[in-house]
Amino acid sequence: MPTPRLDARSAHQLRPLTLAANIAPYAAGSVLIGFGQTRVICAATIEPKVPSWMRQQGVSGGWVTAEYSMLPYSTLDRKARDISKGKIDGRTIEIQRLIGRSIRAVLDLKKFGEHTLWLDCDVLQADGGTRTAAITGAYLAARLAVQKLLNAKKITENPFTDSVAAVSVGLVGGEALLDLNYLEDKDAEVDANIVMTGRGDFVEVQSSGEQSTFSHAQLQSLLGLAQQGLTELTALQAEFLRQHLS
């Protein structure tokens, strides 16, 4: 018999998703996303220029780059800012690159033109799944920002080829669970972060055995569970955009 989860969800149930648009009024697009108690502000800014390396190498089109941070009060024990330590930690760099790759996977950079899309993801409250919340929210913030370019006729067609979302899955006590909170993630024998497009193509699969190995069958079970959750998230993203795009 499955072990009850602390928040009374079933094994295949997402945490409640909350989305609030235009949380940062000076950004071109912004979303406050909540996966249960995890909350992340995702803001998109568009600059009418590209990085110097693109010009030097003759690369056409635009670019997407991301920054991610956990605010000092986002965790139970104060987390020092990277600037106070004098360097960005490896986890932060990894997540920033993951967010950027995820959005670039569904954005036609040539149609985007000579613009740089900056995605700033700041964790207000961390209860597991901050990177997956950041990716899911960053896509929505980016989509709102790009719509402003379209409305202003600064680009002629929507450069997004698909949507993208992310979710965590893991084996906890030998059971496959969807959308892990912090306590579940901390105790997981295996955890994974899955990034998928709206059409169901994988962008990234990050999986590791924290305390044990895992079989091919277990990996397939986790991927299937993630796909189910990501299908739900894609529908929720689409509904949000229907309400907020003009």
> For 86-115, how does the pLDDT look when each residue is reduced to its tens digit (9 = 90+)?
677 788 999 999 999 999 999 999 999 999
Helices and strands of the chain, counted as H and E runs:
7, 9
- Whole-angstrom distance, CA of residue 42 vs CA of residue 24: 9
Can you give the three-state secondary structure of 36-59, one letter per residue? Answer: CCEEEEEEEEEECCCCHHHHHHCC
Q: How confident is the model at residue 5 (pLDDT cuts 50, 70, 90)?
A: confident
The domains found in the chain, sorted by start residue, are 17-244 (3.30.230.70)
**What pLDDT does 84 receive?**
66
**What pLDDT does 236 receive?**
98
What average pLDDT score do residues 148-157 get? 94
Q: What is the SS3 assignment for 241?
A: helix
Q: What is the SS3 assignment for 148?
A: helix
**What pLDDT does 73 receive?**
81
Helical segments of 69-215, H only: 82-85, 90-104, 109-112, 130-151, 182-187
Q: Name the region of 222 (left: φ>0; alpha: ψ -120 to 50; beta: rest).
A: alpha
Burial class (CB in 10 A: 0-12, 13-18, 19+), 2: exposed
> For 129-145, how does the pLDDT look when each residue is reduced to its tens digit (9 = 90+)?
999 999 999 999 999 99
- Whole-angstrom distance, CA of residue 186 vs CA of residue 219: 19
**What pLDDT does 111 receive?**
96
pLDDT at 1 over 60: no
> For 186-231, how does the pLDDT look when each residue is reduced to its tens digit (9 = 90+)?
989 999 999 999 999 999 999 888 778 889 999 999 999 999 999 9
> For 25-82, how does the pLDDT look when each residue is reduced to its tens digit (9 = 90+)?
999 999 999 999 999 999 999 999 999 999 899 899 999 999 999 888 888 888 877 7
